[in-house]
Amino acid sequence: MIDDDEDVLLAAKMLLKKYNHQVIIEKNPNKIPFLLNNDSYDVILLDMNFSKDTTSGKEGFEWLKQIKDRDPQAVVIMITAFGDVEMAVRALKEGATDFILKPWQNEKLVATISTAIKLKKSYIEVDKLRKAKQMFEEQISQPFKDIIGQSTALNEVFALIDKVAKTDANILILGENGTGKELVARAIHQKSLRKDNSFVAVDMGAVTETLFESELFGHKKGSFTDAREDRLGRFELANHGTLFLDEIGNLSMNLQSKLLSALQSRQVTRVGANRPIDVDIRLICATNLNLHQMVVEGKFRQDLLYRINTVEINIPPLCERIDDIPMLTAHFLSYYSKKYHKEVLSISPEAMGKLKKYPWPGNVRELQHSIERAVIMADSNTLQESDFLFSRKGNDVANDSLNLDEVEKSAVTKAIQLHNGNISKAAEELGLTRASLYRRMEKYGL
C-alpha cells in the first residue's frame, strides 16, 4: 500500500493483518520501482494524490502507468477521496482493477482486496496454463512419443514403470544416449496421479551456469540485463506435475548445491526476488553417466544422488533388444514416408538383417536417423541393404569396448569426422544440442 498519509497506512495495516495478509506499507511513491524489483505482490493499493499535487490525481496516474508497464498483470486498487470518483473511473480505463473511497468501510476494503487476490491468482494460473500449453504443443509436435517394443528387456522396464508410476518416488533413469529416457519419464507421468498436470522437461546439459537459476527458478523483470519481463521458472511450471531433469550428471558442483537446496526445501526464489515460492513436483532425472562412480571421484554430490534416486530404472541399449528393431523400423518407416511424401512401404529381408547385425552405438535415435536418411535416398518402394550406409568399423565400435565413455567418445569422434568438423550437423547426428556436444568434446579432449 502506497499512501503519503502515515495514519492511513498504519490503520490499513492493523486491519488487514487480522486477515493473515502480509502488508507492506510505503509513504514515498518514489520507492515503487525498488519495491517492484525486489518482490512480487498479489495486490497493490495506490493513492491517487500525493504531497506534490493533492487534488488532480496526476501522480497516481503516472505511477499506475509505471506499475502496469513493469507488470501488465499487476492488480492495482486505486485509493481516492469522495470527490475523485470520475478520476477513479478513468483509472479503471487505464488499467486499475478497482478503487476504494476514503474514508473506507473496513468490510468493503477487506472484500475488495479478497476479490483482487482471487483475480491475481487467476492471472497466475492463466499464465501458467498458457506457457504449459505452449510447451505441450512443442512437445507433441515431435514424433515418437510412445515407447515401441516388446522385447524381454523392454518388458522389464514396463513392469518397473507400472510399479513406481502411481507413487511420488523420485526416479533416476539410466541409459545410453538415444535409448529413450525421456519417453520413459513421460510414460511414468502419464500413468501417475499427476497426469492431468504439466510434464516439464529440462535439458540440464544445455543450461548454462549463469542462466541456471533463471531457467529453473524464474526471475523478476529487470533482475538482469535481458530480464524484460517476469518469468516463471521450470519448477513453477511443473507445480503439481512432473519435472524431468535430463543429463543431470552434467551439472557443476555449484549448481548441484542449488538444485539440492530447492529439492530439500521444496521452495524456489526467483532471481531478483526475496520471497520463496512453494512448489509441489514429482522429480524424474536421467543421465547416461555413472553417477555412483562420479560420487566416488568427487564429481557428484552423494546427498543429491540419494535425493534423486529413490528408484533407479535402467534402459537397455538397442543392441540388447534386437527383437524390437523390426517394430521400430516399421514405425519410423511409416512416419518418414508420410513426412517426405514417398511411397516407401517396406524393407527387404537383407536390409533388415543388416540392421539387426549393426551394434547401434547411437541406439534408437541412430536407428531413427538411419531410417529417415534411407527413406529420403530410396529409389524404390522397398528399402534395400544399400540404402543403409554404416561405418566400416560399425561392428567394432571402440574395439568392442563395453566402456560407456569409450563408446561415447567413439560416436562423437565419428560424427565430427562424418560432417567434416561441422559441430551443428554432428550434434544433430548424435541427437544432442551444440552445448552438450561441446561439453563432450571437452570431456574427451577432442
| Predicted confidence pLDDT, tens digits, the chain (446 residues) | 999 888 889 988 988 888 867 888 998 888 998 888 877 889 999 988 876 555 566 788 888 988 988 888 889 998 877 556 677 778 888 888 888 888 888 888 899 888 988 888 888 787 777 776 666 655 554 444 578 888 998 999 999 999 999 999 999 999 998 899 999 999 999 999 999 899 999 999 888 888 898 889 988 887 777 777 878 889 999 999 999 999 999 999 999 999 999 999 999 998 888 889 999 999 999 999 999 999 999 999 999 999 999 999 999 999 999 999 999 999 999 999 988 888 877 999 999 999 999 999 999 999 999 999 999 888 888 999 888 887 544 444 444 455 667 778 888 888 887 776 778 888 888 878 877 888 788 777 77
Report the alpha-carbon distance of residue 391 to residue 420 in Å, rounded: 15
pTM: 0.61
Residue 2: φ, ψ to 5°: -115, 115
CATH 1.10.8.60 fits 319-388, yes or no: yes
Q: Where in the chain is the domain with CATH 1.10.8.60?
A: 319-388
Instruction: Tell me the residue type at 67.
Output: I
Please give the class, per CATH, of domain 6-119.
alpha beta
Reduced DSSP (H G I as helix, E B as strand, rest coil) percent helix, strand, coil of the chain, to 5: 55, 15, 35
Report the alpha-carbon distance of residue 306 to residue 298 in Å, rounded: 15
Q: Where in the chain is the domain with CATH 1.10.10.60?
A: 391-446
Q: What is the DSSP letter of 323?
A: G
And the C-alpha cell for 132? 504449459
- For residues 404 and 176, the answer to whether their CB atoms sit within 8 Å is yes
Q: Which CATH number fits domain 391-446: 1.10.10.60, 1.10.3470.10, 1.20.5.50, 1.10.760.10?
A: 1.10.10.60
Q: Where in the chain is the domain with CATH 3.40.50.2300?
A: 6-119
Cis peptide before 103 (omega within 30 of 0): yes
Report the alpha-carbon distance of residue 329 to residue 332 in Å, rounded: 5
CA distances from 93 to 41, 65, 87, 97, 384 (A): 21, 11, 10, 9, 69
Q: Where in the chain is the domain with CATH 3.40.50.300?
A: 142-314
Per-residue pLDDT, 188: 94
Residue 256, helix vs strand vs coil? helix
Please give the class, per CATH, of domain 142-314.
alpha beta
Per-residue pLDDT, 311: 95
Per-residue pLDDT, 71: 83
